[in-house]
Structure 1
């Protein structure tokens, strides 16, 4: 059996001065109880490795803060995945979650995000070793989906902020999350949990089982488990308070304000003169703001007219506006008043008239939560081959699926061109009802054509996409101990191999098929006469035979009276031309008749399209595939190098080789330009690393030296070298780079109550396959144009921006940029094979205090400082354009060459490309407090709090860009935390958690104001309530549990107990969505039952 080392003095000190106050109440309590029991210090204890080091040491004697979350925390809160547990901690920022995710590749995933520095900068381990990513290569990153880890098998999760790179390698810039699974379990238990919300539309179910036992007189153990979780999805419009209450912005304007209502315009710069320098950027909000470019079932206008009722576009000669109903009839609709801010081309609002000619577009294409399902399996095997040799193996398998419920499935509107333009149809269209024709004639129809402006989501089943991922990982480890030179040594060798396969299903309209399908015609003598004349046939029957031959796939042939795709008639007549003559051979289209074979006529009026026509225009769901493969070979040797006066100098040396490969193959329909989505290209590549590293810990002063104010002093360090070799796809060059990282730490025990610690660390992140090798491809690009009248007054130097824009002829008082209000289809995105690694340096200082005069009380305080250089950033049009026009070197600034304007000054080409250009700094302080109080016969009370003060989180997208401060917005509040009160009494427990954050800014830079409540004065200024703040946030959670006997626990959990809702401004459809899942879902309940056999 593996032996233990007797370290009585060290154990006693370690128990007093924990590495960090764990967030887990159970772990904290156990640590405190150990402190009070001095006999424990004399027991034999085993040296183990904890997260952040490969050195085997007493568990709590680390010099860097380690935050531990136990399985008890998951059970008490009723969490069904580990990400919910982590995301409630102040340490973590927003991450990809099943909530609201609108990306087909990522729908339903959970990824850790320490300090909100980006999920790609948090390294996630399983049992101290790397886990293969299930992120599609088309979107970058090597992030681990925590959903692949069975929550029932989690023993604990350890988090070390800002460190881990010297120990584990790349990606630990933000820190390391180590999920440690049970591997020595004895017994069998099952758990079932069911939950829902007040509205009954957020159901969630989980069932799990865990079993295990020892064999061969305890030399070995087998642990296994299985888990199934299902979560229902939820659309935003299924919550009335979000969908029906639809406030929105009328746009950003520059206004003179009288904020205090004294009748005088605010003198912003205090120069005593009211001029343009006193204009303030304001976003004005209105109730029921909708998009008015189209309606759900189709707005109808005179032929070739636009549709924007609030400005009169699309009006019929009788002065009214009309739309199709769901059943294809035509009814009148009303224009909403024009928004005074000038965005009337995009929005309107309901002033009580009802039946407004617009739709709640932004809410209708938003979801609150993706439906997900997870099947997780885990098994571990441990066996002591000899007394000092052990074999360990574990297998993780996960089958996860998630669905993006809704997306923008396309539209027809006069605001856009090409295949997204309004559809102009003849009045002879056979699907047009007599009622609809009569209505248009009564409205003043001129000629025999009309135009339809509609949202096409009903044609693509809301445009939802989905993914299914199969992930597995197997690790095999040999580890042992030996003695040499009168010293103890230990070693391990391991091989970890993992693979993930992602199947991504998407749906979209194939433009050529759509255009053929909407050209519906009825087979009649007029059609046959045209065919007869063009073909020189003798009779109409011969023309009908020719028409039947044009579509041999049509069972039974065409007959008089049938509604068919008009292109068949053109084919029979020999007049087929245009896109139909361009064969693509894509698999979605026939090589001879690319967009015609199998054509089914499409009814665009209302929502009456046949299933056959919908299948035809989409070509069925398209399947893209992605895969990731990872193999890691590791060997370590550790032990005592020699004795120092204060104790042994321990070390670990190791080597590691890691091989990664990623592939992405887009669906056939994505690779060719036949749909309305941008063209998708394959992404593939790989890399391998050769790494070596060393760690040491050296005691400098020990307690028996009797040095004042120094009970114990220790220094430790680590160094790692990585050789990074890329395997580039065709068209790119392979290359090799090298990175070095270091870590140095100091631990100082002042006395029996107080310990201090400090760490300096460097880290790096290698660029992902997608960031390196994504091919150049067309993309839709949008962003705020700095020369737009709404944005010219922003930036670090508004006067310079304005002057530079005007120097090229732009009238900055009136110019409205289309790229700001919509997108351009001539944009591009690409990877950058010249990318280097991101690098960072960080400083961490902390203390732990356990005052002797307050029993069972602990405080931990840590300061974090991080700077990232050469951060990989997708430099966007908006950032580049701002750099260009804000530059004193305009127009010679390099950024000015990255986009092109047309003769009307509209942007006609722009792109996004990653680069090592960003600089980021982060600074924060965390405070953890634990206190336990014995109530005697009434049980025990435990209080604990975790508080974080974010000082700064600055990002500079490019070297010349304005520095963006994120602290103060919803994702990075200045203050955030949790406070728990737990009561344990006999077989009962009650836990109450408060999650809170201080008031936040909608715009962290505070350059913009927002208002619902305002009036325009006679002098043109605005007075009213202008703000940039959301109120502070307090959420209450409650758990009540009862254990019957020793085997069955029944537990009720309530999240968002007081049913907190969002502020009006934070719930706007245009904007900010600065409130969490809890507000969206409302109050939630769950019942959990656990039974141990």
Structure 2
């Protein structure tokens, strides 16, 4: 079926070329009149070629000069600093993940990576995320050194580009008109002496009468940062209440220690010191093994060519290859709950008897005195330091090929037919894992003939089984480690194939402002993905999170058309429509409408409206279910018998909770109970497409010859939004219902123990929400010459959010996210540049507004687990970056700079918060974690 669809798509696309060639063969023999030839360009947001850059929708452009001046060698860092985009995944926020470690994604309007369509040279780019966890282009695969400019379309555009352009489009234009050789290199280092970043790129190209060709190769490496090398991430932190009930940040150590803990005892039987103070505690500092920034190494190559076959036909092609590796990315050794070996869900039964020869005498005596006869009656945990840190060695290889034919059918019409193919393959090996099946044998021991402990099972002994002694620090032998260690190997792959044919030109009909512009075409797209987490991970026989495989595929046929109607010389209306036939969810229709009016030459008024769509991707539909232990806030925590709220009454209807309230006066969770909630998340074949309705109003005003202003108001509403609903929200929606509607298991998504404590909460992909956001975008630019100094350039970019809401479709509950850390009310960039002869000075100011961690109480302090108060608010942050470039000769440019000039430390956002990253104690999408950073580089052309 797949091959038939691909063949059909290619046949349809190239049939258009063949018919037009047959019917208009004279065009191939007649060269157009040079005087009548006017260069037309394709502007992001439309497939109609125009003679100007006018647009009815807001577009921001980032030039290669701006990228170079920023000192960023990674596209993700460039986009992270733009007020309309946010870093959804980055090399800090993914340090604690597995299949996403080292990834770099972005999202327009914070509406999600999958709702931001990334194009390269106007064509789709393959996803870089593992299909088990999501969909999004990995920006690591598009090196900044290869970019000519970035065009950010801040408006929905599914009618023009198809699914996923819900929040807008980021179109990355690569350098393709190179003459000669260019070598670019850069070196940088943080003031702390780490985070070294080295980059070298070589590009060569040439032009001739009938075309051009170019090739680019490069390498860059970022060494990363250890969490213990920054004061804000040296320890885990969380908010606690001091003696006056004031909120303060304090260190938080793990109760999974290297010596083991059995109930309230150390593994050797001595009392366990639960104190959180670093002095004398028996707890463990997890941060000592963690990464603050993941080390990243990239190799890349790209090439392209444009060849004029004759005056009407041009053949073009491009290829990109990128290999990204993250080695030595580590987190703390595995926190093993040893009773997991016997849990029924993983095929276990029984437990370790207190009279086992492994149990030390003192520990046995204390446990028996407490009435414990089997260790599965108590919390029995240990940090497996003998197995080393949990490590991730990961390689992502991305290949993309695009090729096409552009045929000037006449002076007014062009047919562009192309295909693209891309594949991202991810191989990964995680260390520090334990084989649970073997661990059961290693705990079942007896005294052998030589009076030494040995495994009871004879076959297991033949396979290398030795006793698994976890009672005390350093008690696990190397032989036991060798027997129990199991590498967790995974493989992921995403593949994309697109073939498209578009004809654009002008109809022989003129309106008051000129001829009608038209574009129409067809497009076929096939997406597939698979992820294999390894046999032991799939069965739960490994200490890593249990996960199911992912394997799925879909395709879509799209038919689209655009019209540009110049009603008068001062007024233009743009129309676009598309119909998509998706193999899983069926057909969808989308449209765009744009309006532009110029009452005077200096002023343009514009408006746009659009219906956009995002069809479910491989992860949404087919993502295998996997275990998660992300933080969950139990709405029943703190409930007392006197509480009369709807939530409290539903909580008290659960016998375990009611009994605990009767015994203790309230249902109050301990730290271990609050943090130990398991569950699964995954895709669903029942997910349908989501739709978006958006509109904008704006002005473009050239109020002086050297000064301009654009101001746009935008409004987005995403209906049936596809998302993995957070497990906290699953609980909130479940318990905030009338008694008649409430069901204690939340329709099978929630399991509680006999004591009422949450055991598991499940979630997954669904169409449960409505997303709404609105705001203002302002851009101002000014250029002038200052006598005696040089040419001054100033540019201001400001985004102001007026609304950001998530509405539950089933319960109608409105969650207000405006003003939270990911959605600050204001983000501002001010860029100042001064060029004086061969010197150019740049000063960039970045502002992230004051914000809160949560408007909805989705966080808690570690003293009574109530939502944060005073420390819920995070102050505004301002960063200053300066740089200098010098044209030493006509062919040599030298540059240097300092980012985060004032060495602003990130605000503390620790455990229990909504946005605090595990192991980094801040929100790396907003705040700089590196500190003051120096760099220098040069570009040499010859």
Match in the other structure for 2:238: 248
Match in the other structure for 1:632: 498
Match in the other structure for 2:69: 76
Aligned residues: 885
1:488 equivalent to 2:412? Answer yes
Identify if the C-alpha distance between structure 1 residues 452 and 914 changes in structure 2 by more than 3 Å, giving closer, same or farther. closer
Shift of 1:93: 1.6
What is the SS of the residue equivalent to 2:45? coil
1:381 equivalent to 2:305? Answer yes
1:192 and 1:947 map into 2 onto residues whose CA distance is 32
Shift of 1:903: 3.9
Judge conservation of contact 1:781–1:823 (CA < 8 Å) in 2.
no
Identify if the C-alpha distance between structure 1 residues 895 and 1089 changes in structure 2 by more than 3 Å, giving closer, same or farther. same
Match in the other structure for 2:794: 943
Shift of 1:522: 8.3
Question: Which of 1 and 2 has greater Rg?
Answer: 1
2:723 and 2:555 map into 1 onto residues whose CA distance is 23
Shift of 1:360: 2.9
Shift of 1:499: 1.4
Judge conservation of contact 2:795–2:831 (CA < 8 Å) in 1.
yes
1:290 equivalent to 2:253? Answer yes
Written as runs of structure 1 = structure 2, the 5 A alignment for 1:586-597 is 593=459, 597=463
Shift of 1:883: 1.7
Shift of 1:760: 0.2
Shift of 1:1074: 4.3
Shift of 1:976: 0.9
Shift of 1:895: 7.9
1:151 and 1:791 map into 2 onto residues whose CA distance is 57
Written as runs of structure 1 = structure 2, the 5 A alignment for 1:1043-1082 is 1043-1063=887-907, 1065-1066=908-909, 1072=916, 1073-1076=921-924, 1079-1082=928-931
Moved more, 1067-1076 or 803-812: 1067-1076
Shift of 1:452: 11
1:844 equivalent to 2:696? Answer yes
Match in the other structure for 1:679: 546
Match in the other structure for 1:821: 674
2:367 and 2:513 map into 1 onto residues whose CA distance is 97
1:83 and 1:519 map into 2 onto residues whose CA distance is 51
Match in the other structure for 2:572: 714
Moved more, 860-869 or 933-942: 933-942
1:127 and 1:928 map into 2 onto residues whose CA distance is 24
Judge conservation of contact 1:1006–1:1028 (CA < 8 Å) in 2.
no
1:1074 and 1:54 map into 2 onto residues whose CA distance is 42
Identify if the C-alpha distance between structure 1 residues 1009 and 112 changes in structure 2 by more than 3 Å, giving closer, same or farther. closer
1:131 and 1:397 map into 2 onto residues whose CA distance is 12
Calculate the TM-score normalised by the size of structure 1: 0.75
Written as runs of structure 1 = structure 2, the 5 A alignment for 1:706-785 is 712-726=570-584, 736-775=585-624, 783-785=632-634
Moved more, 926-935 or 599-608: 599-608
1:201 equivalent to 2:194? Answer yes
What is the SS of the residue equivalent to 2:893? strand
Judge conservation of contact 2:260–2:383 (CA < 8 Å) in 1.
no
Match in the other structure for 1:979: 830
Shift of 1:969: 1.5
Written as runs of structure 1 = structure 2, the 5 A alignment for 1:24-39 is none
Judge conservation of contact 2:130–2:531 (CA < 8 Å) in 1.
yes
Written as runs of structure 1 = structure 2, the 5 A alignment for 1:224-235 is 224-235=215-226
Identify if the C-alpha distance between structure 1 residues 171 and 6 changes in structure 2 by more than 3 Å, giving closer, same or farther. farther
Match in the other structure for 1:238: 229
Judge conservation of contact 1:247–1:289 (CA < 8 Å) in 2.
yes
Judge conservation of contact 1:1002–1:1074 (CA < 8 Å) in 2.
no
Identify if the C-alpha distance between structure 1 residues 1045 and 247 changes in structure 2 by more than 3 Å, giving closer, same or farther. same
Shift of 1:714: 0.5
Shift of 1:99: 2.1
2:485 and 2:138 map into 1 onto residues whose CA distance is 31
1:858 equivalent to 2:724? Answer no
Judge conservation of contact 2:127–2:424 (CA < 8 Å) in 1.
yes
Written as runs of structure 1 = structure 2, the 5 A alignment for 1:147-226 is 147-215=140-208, 218-226=209-217
Once the two structures are superposed, residues 102-134 of structure 1 have per-residue CA deviations (whole angstroms, 9 ceiling, x without a partner) of: 322221111221011111110001111111112
What is the SS of the residue equivalent to 1:851? strand
1:1011 and 1:911 map into 2 onto residues whose CA distance is 24
What is the SS of the residue equivalent to 2:566? strand
Alignment partner for residue 511 of structure 2, among 612, 620, 644? 644
Match in the other structure for 2:116: 122
2:328 and 2:653 map into 1 onto residues whose CA distance is 45
Match in the other structure for 1:135: 129
Match in the other structure for 2:23: none
Judge conservation of contact 1:882–1:961 (CA < 8 Å) in 2.
no
Once the two structures are superposed, residues 242-289 of structure 1 have per-residue CA deviations (whole angstroms, 9 ceiling, x without a partner) of: 215x542248x9x9x9xxxxxxxxxxxxxxxxxxxxxxxx98435333
Match in the other structure for 2:777: 926
Judge conservation of contact 1:422–1:453 (CA < 8 Å) in 2.
no
Identify if the C-alpha distance between structure 1 residues 1033 and 737 changes in structure 2 by more than 3 Å, giving closer, same or farther. same
What is the SS of the residue equivalent to 1:100? coil
Judge conservation of contact 1:316–1:444 (CA < 8 Å) in 2.
no
1:155 and 1:723 map into 2 onto residues whose CA distance is 35
Written as runs of structure 1 = structure 2, the 5 A alignment for 1:953-968 is 953-960=804-811, 962-968=813-819
Identify if the C-alpha distance between structure 1 residues 424 and 807 changes in structure 2 by more than 3 Å, giving closer, same or farther. closer
Identify if the C-alpha distance between structure 1 residues 757 and 668 changes in structure 2 by more than 3 Å, giving closer, same or farther. same
2:912 and 2:885 map into 1 onto residues whose CA distance is 40
What is the SS of the residue equivalent to 1:183? coil
Match in the other structure for 1:1086: 935
Alignment partner for residue 472 of structure 1, among 394, 399, 403? 399
Q: CA RMSD in A?
A: 3.8
Alignment partner for residue 456 of structure 1, among 372, 383, 388? 383
Written as runs of structure 1 = structure 2, the 5 A alignment for 1:51-450 is 51-101=44-94, 102-141=96-135, 143-215=136-208, 218-244=209-235, 247-250=237-240, 284-291=247-254, 293-295=255-257, 297-299=258-260, 305-307=262-264, 321=271, 335-336=274-275, 348-349=276-277, 354-361=279-286, 363-364=287-288, 366-403=290-327, 405-407=329-331, 409-412=333-336, 418=342
Moved more, 408-417 or 690-699: 408-417
Once the two structures are superposed, residues 312-364 of structure 1 have per-residue CA deviations (whole angstroms, 9 ceiling, x without a partner) of: x66999xx746xxxxxxxxxxx553xxxxxxxxxxx335xxx22222233x34
2:332 and 2:352 map into 1 onto residues whose CA distance is 18
Moved more, 153-162 or 282-291: 282-291
Judge conservation of contact 1:150–1:377 (CA < 8 Å) in 2.
no
Judge conservation of contact 2:351–2:374 (CA < 8 Å) in 1.
no
Shift of 1:524: 5.7
Identify if the C-alpha distance between structure 1 residues 372 and 716 changes in structure 2 by more than 3 Å, giving closer, same or farther. same
Identify if the C-alpha distance between structure 1 residues 439 and 597 changes in structure 2 by more than 3 Å, giving closer, same or farther. closer
Alignment partner for residue 878 of structure 2, among 1016, 1034, 1049? 1034
2:709 and 2:314 map into 1 onto residues whose CA distance is 39
Identify if the C-alpha distance between structure 1 residues 404 and 859 changes in structure 2 by more than 3 Å, giving closer, same or farther. farther
Once the two structures are superposed, residues 788-811 of structure 1 have per-residue CA deviations (whole angstroms, 9 ceiling, x without a partner) of: 217999xxx982212232244534
Shift of 1:406: 2.9
Judge conservation of contact 1:873–1:957 (CA < 8 Å) in 2.
no
Shift of 1:193: 1.1
Shift of 1:622: 2.7
Shift of 1:194: 1.2
Once the two structures are superposed, residues 70-117 of structure 1 have per-residue CA deviations (whole angstroms, 9 ceiling, x without a partner) of: 111111111111111111010102321122313222211112210111
1:771 and 1:283 map into 2 onto residues whose CA distance is 43
Match in the other structure for 2:21: none
